[in-house]
Chains A and B, each alone.
Chain A
Amino acid sequence: MKKSYKPYAALCTAVFILGLSPFTLQAAKPVDNDGDGYHTKQDCNDSDPSVWSLNSCGQCAPEPPGGCGGTTCTDADLDTYATEGGSCGPVDCDDTDSSINPAASEVCGDQVDNNCDGNINEGCSGASRDVIVMATNDLGMHCACPGAEYFLLLPPFNTLRAQVIERGLGSPVVLDDPNDIRVEYNVVENTDANLQADPYYAKWIEMMPKYGFGPALNADGKIQGLTGATLDGEMHAKTGEGWWEIVGVPAFPDVSNASSPGEKVMIDPLSEGAPDRNPYLTGNIKVYDQVTNQLLAETNTVVPVAFGGCCNCHLQVTADAGLPPTPENSFLLMGQLHERDSGINIAELDPDGDGTVGPVRCSVCHLDPAMGESTAPGGYTDSEGNPLPTSVYTFSDVLHRWHVENPTVIGYEPDLATNCYNCHPGNGVNCYRGHHVNKDGSGPGGELWCTDCHGDLHQRVAEGQLEAPWSDTTLPKCEDCHRRTGEGGGYLHMGIFGQYLNSRGHKNDKILCSTCHGAPHALYPSTLAKDNQQNLNLQGLANPIGVCDTCHKGKSSRYSKPQH
């Protein structure tokens, strides 16, 4: 049988036809599948153009940044920037967000260090931030007593609160980061010079150390209160809680020319012919960007402070006792009455040991939580140096109960238990001036009087409420009359000044009730025009904040009841 050479012939022919040398066919061209320049036989991974040879770790992989056995660089958000820095390169300051890295551009107004340079919003102008501020006093009225050289019921002590809201970012943002903003306050009418020229306040400055409160002037020579707060300064951030506060501003009713004659409505009961005073001071609040120092927002609120109503009655009683009606004689008479009832003549005490009687702080022996104390500090001694006991009665209890149960006092004022204006605060000053006053008597509940919220004094004494004054169990609650206020929701439970003052609501409990509704006793719309100016500026109405567009830009500009 003969071999057929036809296949091989065909192949040769094909090779001949195709121009292939029989010798070439035996040596084919190498293949580079991933196009990295290394063909299959050279490339450890010819499907990955980033690798072609083994690295120093013996892996067919790119060389690790720190070399084989060096630092591990973490890049969880895969933006090619690691958190470790050093050999890993520029630091990614937020490895959860790929938009935040050293190569990113800074975004203004988002309160984020977008480019990881340690600064927030650098290069951003203030005009790009749309911010509002809402401020209130904490109680609606404070009392500050004259006659500090003899005794003290209440010192100059005022508290302001503010909330700052940035708009235009989608949902408004409540700002409480002191690294982001700075909130400054200033009691406009009270200046250091004005108060030092005020004869009553000058006495307070002199006496404050004698009460054990420390010097009335700080190291800078500025007047300071019991907490160190001055008449102007910075509010403290309640970071995480969403608000700002300054506690213990040593404000005092103004007698200076800083107040107009029309503003001076408070009568000075101590001296016949003494000038009237302004009890509704101006608290100017300004918000600044901490980075650019630009003014972002400003508002004014009322800083209310007046003399208490004690003076009127006590000076009359002093005169009735045949003594010239002066604070000193009133103190002497009170000392005698105190001795009659307790065995201690407070007008004979010399607490500071300077050889002269006084000054005596009632709350040294009678606990007053409003002084920030949880027990009566005690420490007074009699003339022989024997320590005097503190009282089992709180200041509120002994003051209110004694007055309302003493028939001689009732003979002067039969309505003492139900007519709070006798004492709070008196002298021509409205403590109770808020919305509840504006009822016209035609509603189903009729007029609201002090006792509707606070109770008659007989009731309060009988129920032992005054044994625990200033507590959330004895202070009024809005929900006693108003349903579904949200009161208690987000309640901070600070234990003093009640639920309304410390409650928050409205969308994740970020807004203090008082921010929208105003200070106690001065609820919006107040009968005092000055109280209403802030809301008029914000929403064009003196009512509680109810125009959504006030905080939620672009939302409804119609007034309605917001979600609580």
Chain B
Amino acid sequence: MQRLIASAAFALLFSVSLQGFAQPPPTASSGVQLDKTLELFKGWSGRKSFPDSVTFAYYMAYSFTVLEGKIAPDVRSRLLEFVSGSQQSDGGFASNPTYGTNSNVIYTYYALETLMLLGAQDAIDRDKTIAFVGSLVQADGSIKPAAGEDARATLASTYYGVASLHLLDRLDVLDRNKVAAFVSEHQTSVDGFGMMRSGAASPQATYMAVHTLGLVNGLNADLKAATIQYLERAIDLMGVKGAHYGHYSTMQAATHIVSALSELGALSEVDTDRIERFVTSLYVTENGGFGPSAGLGTTPPSTYQAVFCLSKLGKIDVPRREGKQGDRNSNATPVKEDIQPASL
């Protein structure tokens, strides 16, 4: 789903010169002020250590794109320098250019997504990155997170690896059937997916599975239906304190639920009002950010996740994407054309 959003965002950037910028989100009636959220991101971008990590780089790039329709040149420059500088000699990416040289598929994925948003996919050594990810592909279709014997392939690492190869236009490196089989082994008895085989279902694992299966053509109607049922039950647990050690009542969980439903084309079939209420309940009025769960203050990841969720729920006026059918943007989810100012 993040690939789809990235594609839409990229198209947005490309289309800016033709259509003009999206206006800053108006003040919402429920107290959520997305223009204040935008100012928060701008404030974060002024910090000395900005963007701190390749994951934060992606959050910033995405959020600026959605909230303002653009990334300011100086911000873009800093993001590009940071992300491209995080590429290691093995072609993979570390979290940042300076500290730690351990590259893995997780940071590689976020780096590629960010470069996509910046329109700078060629700013790095793509061949090396392809080789890096390709070197981690296992015989059973899974993908290890990093080199080394101690690194074990999981659903998460496989998702990040497959998604990275998709961004690099090199899914041909994979045996799609094997990937699908590996991922399918993580389906649980309650129809969602777990991070490990025989593990408990979670929104995070379910989204990762859905996205990966979608990329390797591993989704069938039965699987979709079962997964949608699981996600509907997950929505019912949103905002329920203490449920499943709080896992469902987090912004991260909401993001994964929304992402998965969007991948499955089922977002309009579920109680999106409940999702929206949960997301906006985590708004922090003091600075316009969003917290990761009830009672907590603003964090950069949870603020990005809120923007993502509200955008997918049609609550942020994202300009219509443009692009040819059949190109890389063809999987982009069509945005609403009659979006109203956020009724938050």
Flag whether B131 is at the interface (Cβ < 8 A): no
Q: Which residues in A have their C-beta under 8 angstroms from that of B53?
A: 415, 417-418, 456
* Minimum C-beta distance from B259 to chain A (A): 14
* Minimum C-beta distance from B240 to chain A (A): 10
Flag whether B335 is at the interface (Cβ < 8 A): no
Contact A447 B44 (CB under 8 A): yes
Q: Which residues in A have their C-beta under 8 angstroms from that of B218?
A: none
Q: Measured between alpha carbons, how far is A440 from B287 in the docked complex, in Å? A: 5
* Minimum C-beta distance from A333 to chain B (A): 11
* Minimum C-beta distance from A453 to chain B (A): 11
Flag whether A343 is at the interface (Cβ < 8 A): no
* Minimum C-beta distance from B74 to chain A (A): 13
Scan A245-278; emit 1 where CB is below 8 A from any B CB, else 0: 0000000000000000000011111111110100
Q: Measured between alpha carbons, how far is A404 from B95 in the docked complex, in Å? A: 10
Scan B228-264; emit 1 where CB is below 8 A from any A CB, else 0: 0000000000000111111100000000000000000
Scan A520-553; emit 1 where CB is below 8 A from any B CB, else 0: 0000000100000000000000000000000000
Contact A325 B295 (CB under 8 A): no
Contact A449 B300 (CB under 8 A): yes
A interface, over-half SS: loop
Contact B245 A411 (CB under 8 A): no
Q: Which residues in B have their C-beta under 8 angstroms from that of A437?
A: 286-287, 297-298
Q: Which residues in B have their C-beta under 8 angstroms from that of A54?
A: none
Q: Measured between alpha carbons, how far is A458 from B144 in the docked complex, in Å? A: 21
Q: Measured between alpha carbons, how far is A311 from B299 in the docked complex, in Å? A: 20
Partner of B295, one of A315, A408, A417, A428: A428
Contact A456 B287 (CB under 8 A): no
Contact B200 A446 (CB under 8 A): no
Contact A316 B43 (CB under 8 A): no
Which stretch of B7-15, B102-110, B120-128, B319-327 is in the interface? B102-110
Contact (A414, B199) CB under 8 Å given A441-B43, A458-B95: no
Q: Measured between alpha carbons, how far is A412 from B242 in the docked complex, in Å? A: 20
Q: Measured between alpha carbons, how far is A407 from B105 in the docked complex, in Å? A: 9
Contact B200 A325 (CB under 8 A): yes
The chain B residue with its CB closest to the CB of A410 is B106
* Minimum C-beta distance from A403 to chain B (A): 13
Q: Measured between alpha carbons, how far is A221 from B52 in the docked complex, in Å? A: 51
Flag whether A48 is at the interface (Cβ < 8 A): no
Q: Measured between alpha carbons, how far is A421 from B144 in the docked complex, in Å? A: 27
Flag whether A461 is at the interface (Cβ < 8 A): yes
Q: Which residues in A have their C-beta under 8 angstroms from that of B245?
A: 269-270, 272, 311-312, 315-316, 325
Q: Which residues in A have their C-beta under 8 angstroms from that of B95?
A: 417-418, 456, 458
Q: Measured between alpha carbons, how far is A54 from B36 in the docked complex, in Å? A: 99
Flag whether A433 is at the interface (Cβ < 8 A): yes
Contact A429 B296 (CB under 8 A): yes
The chain B residue with its CB closest to the CB of A311 is B245
List residues 83-139 of chain B with CB under 8 A from any CB of chain A.
94-96, 98-100, 102, 104-107, 110
Contact B196 A267 (CB under 8 A): no
List residues 446-501 of chain A with CB under 8 A from any CB of chain B.
446-449, 451-452, 456, 458-459, 461-463
Partner of A408, one of B154, B242, B247: B154
Q: Measured between alpha carbons, how far is A446 from B75 in the docked complex, in Å? A: 13
Contact A458 B99 (CB under 8 A): yes
Which stretch of B16-24, B145-153, B267-275 is in the interface? B145-153
Q: Measured between alpha carbons, how far is A506 from B216 in the docked complex, in Å? A: 67
Flag whether A58 is at the interface (Cβ < 8 A): no
Q: Measured between alpha carbons, how far is A449 from B51 in the docked complex, in Å? A: 11
B interface, over-half SS: loop
Contact A452 B49 (CB under 8 A): yes
Contact A459 B98 (CB under 8 A): yes
Contact B44 A274 (CB under 8 A): no
Q: Which residues in A have their C-beta under 8 angstroms from that of B293?
A: 267, 428
Q: Which residues in A have their C-beta under 8 angstroms from that of B157?
A: 407-408, 411
Q: Measured between alpha carbons, how far is A86 from B296 in the docked complex, in Å? A: 71
Q: Measured between alpha carbons, how far is A219 from B197 in the docked complex, in Å? A: 53
Scan B39-79; emit 1 where CB is below 8 A from any A CB, else 0: 11111111111101101100000000000000000000000
Q: Measured between alpha carbons, how far is A241 from B299 in the docked complex, in Å? A: 39
The chain B residue with its CB closest to the CB of A324 is B200
Contact A319 B287 (CB under 8 A): no
Contact B301 A430 (CB under 8 A): no
Q: Measured between alpha carbons, how far is A265 from B294 in the docked complex, in Å? A: 8
Contact B99 A447 (CB under 8 A): no
Contact A411 B52 (CB under 8 A): no
Flag whether A169 is at the interface (Cβ < 8 A): no
Partner of B242, one of A267, A438, A449, A461: A267
Partner of B55, one of A316, A418, A447: A418
Contact A451 B247 (CB under 8 A): no
Contact B247 A447 (CB under 8 A): no
List residues 202-216 of chain B with CB under 8 A from any CB of chain A.
202, 204-205
Flag whether A170 is at the interface (Cβ < 8 A): no
Q: Measured between alpha carbons, how far is A229 from B154 in the docked complex, in Å? A: 47
Contact B47 A412 (CB under 8 A): no
- Please provide the 3 A-B residue pairs with the shortest distance between their CB atoms, ordered closest to farther: A441-B43, A411-B156, A407-B145
Given A316-B202, A446-B42, A463-B99, 19 more contacts at CB 8 Å?
Answer: A265-B295, A276-B242, A316-B195, A316-B247, A322-B199, A408-B157, A412-B195, A419-B301, A421-B297, A428-B296, A437-B298, A445-B46, A446-B46, A456-B49, A456-B53, A456-B96, A459-B99, A461-B100, A462-B100
